[in-house]
Chain A
């Protein structure tokens, strides 16, 4: 995977975007910590000096100057506190006691209340170093001056340590952040690449390509699943289209050839001959049959493509069935068949009224055609709480179990009915309409005969109107 691509991923950028304010926040936090710590040390130092000053003032007040000199000399000696600095001078700045050589230059920073910070040169163990001193100065009666201070070396050392530690910590945090960003981006880039790779496979012509799932059920897997479903649909449609073209070519060739034959025959015969007119009429009928096939195919394709879904609305399956029963009942009666309605009125579903009517008509038509005299055809509409069903059962020869899937394809005529009129598209339309309505289509044995069931999702009654688009 090219490194450059990782840097361009949105994941990387987003992570950096997140990292930036986070980093600033951490930096600010550390800075505050740093200054707070230093401030604490400073105030502690000041407090120590102040306390000492007070102590010395008491000594002076109680026992006089000599005592003061003595105490200062003591504290300045080898037994005194390490890092403590004292100087007691006379009015002429001549040192009287203490461990400083001379009064510090007042050029150094002097704040109010007598606080000063200055530098001195100290040599310890042969090394000459410059030390920072913080001290308080004040005057005593008679012009004497006293300076009490502390070496800030420790403070400086501490400051250095803190600064170093915090900087390292910040550095590690940022480095980890960037590393994390890179790792995350790489991982997600791999997932996205998988999808892109599958697309390329399909574009190259292999319709069977699918996005691999990681199995974690995360958003990428969900996206991949949706994409795979979409690809399934595309493959199905493509295959369907190829099949239609193949079937069309195959199944329309016969009637067209027949038609051409008839017309050529008529052209060869006498224009006033007795068969001339009859041939033309038959030719016209052939054309009608071919057109009917085309129309049916178009309806099926449109239903399969879901184009009709936007015009679906709340329809009454009961009345659709009732209308179909009305239409076919006389025909059934004439053929010596009993058409029995078992229709529950007011059974509502979301659907396409015309396509549903056509489906019921096709099923009834099939049943009437294949059921022998004396048989019974039952038309049932069953209303359920969750699902409603439309069932058409006959007592005809039925369809063998092995053929039940095959018979739903276009132009399939079972051997038994090959010679009777019909385009073989009736059941394909029913199958396409079932798919459009997301309904279950079942072909089962009616013992004897065939039972066709269409199961829909039920919809509420009067109070809930849904006139438009179906999700």
Chain B
């Protein structure tokens, strides 16, 4: 996967590029807005990570220019501005996701994977499948190995999100945003309790676990162990 990183802070950029390279990505970098846009327009990338405050041309303008040119490359916007309204601005400009600095690298990685997956586009499949777990979006029925599982509405939404991001690392923040539309950190590990309840319902009594805890990052729904 070819990623473009546009970030002017040298230390942060080094850290990012190193981490991404270690995770198997091929990374190009630019430290100036205009250089970054030039690179973005010249090549086709699988995803971009763009800092909002840049010399030359700011991040949001870069994204707007790309979108105006019908460039649909998934973009993850990084910013020190973290209020909800700033996030809305970033997404409206054409960004696919918005991450506030400072962030944990695992968070960034998880979100990058998520927007990469989104980029490939999925058909409107009414059924989601992970291993022997099946979810029918129309009938709201959930089955594993043929056995029917009863889920509360919120548990259903949680499982749906995990299934749509199957194989990826899903952080607690992503779950809060995706399932509750909460853009703040409640501090207490409220999400963990929800996940363990879900685990009780979909993993207990079956031959192998699907819902895994990824230490220091979050959770992942996948047929094999991490």
In the complex, residue of chain B having the shortest beta-carbon distance to the beta carbon of A287: B102
Contacts of A361 in B (CB 8 A): 182, 184, 186
The reply on A32 being an interface residue by CB < 8 A is: no
Contacts of B201 in A (CB 8 A): none
Among A287, A311, A333, A365, point to the contact of B188 (Cβ < 8 A). A365
Per-position binary interface string of chain B over residues 139-180, scored 1 when its CB falls under 8 Å from any chain A CB and 0 otherwise: 000000000000000100000000000000000000000001
In the complex, residue of chain A having the shortest beta-carbon distance to the beta carbon of B101: A291
Check A327–B190 contact: CB distance below 8 A: yes
Q: Which interface class (under 10, 10 to 19, 20 to 34, 35 or more) fits B?
A: 10 to 19
The reply on A338 being an interface residue by CB < 8 A is: no
Contacts of A358 in B (CB 8 A): 182, 184
Per-position binary interface string of chain A over residues 298-339, scored 1 when its CB falls under 8 Å from any chain B CB and 0 otherwise: 110010000010010000000000010011101101100000
Contacts known (A326-B180, A330-B194, A357-B182); A365 close to B85, Cβ less than 8 A = no
Q: In the complex, A323→B157 CA distance in Å?
A: 12
Query: For chain B, what secondary structure do more than half of its interface residues adopt (helix, strand, loop), or is it mixed?
Result: loop
Chain B nearest CB, measured from A432 CB (Å): 14
In the complex, residue of chain A having the shortest beta-carbon distance to the beta carbon of B192: A331
Contacts known (A311-B85, A354-B184, A422-B187); A330 close to B193, Cβ less than 8 A = yes
Contacts of B190 in A (CB 8 A): 327-328, 330-331
Interface residues of A (CB under 8 A from B): 287, 291-292, 295, 298-299, 302, 308, 311, 323, 326-328, 330-331, 333-334, 354, 357-358, 361, 365, 368-369, 421-423
Interface residues of B (CB under 8 A from A): 82-85, 102, 154, 180-188, 190, 193-194, 197
A-B contact pairs, 30 of them (CB 8 A): A291-B102, A295-B82, A298-B82, A299-B83, A302-B83, A308-B85, A311-B84, A323-B180, A323-B182, A326-B154, A327-B180, A327-B186, A327-B190, A327-B194, A330-B193, A330-B194, A330-B197, A331-B190, A331-B193, A334-B193, A354-B84, A354-B182, A354-B183, A354-B184, A361-B184, A365-B186, A365-B187, A368-B188, A369-B188, A422-B187
Given A326-B154, A357-B184, A358-B182, 18 further pairs, Cβ under 8 A: A292-B187, A298-B82, A299-B83, A302-B83, A323-B182, A326-B180, A327-B190, A330-B190, A330-B193, A330-B194, A330-B197, A331-B188, A331-B190, A334-B193, A357-B182, A361-B186, A365-B186, A365-B187
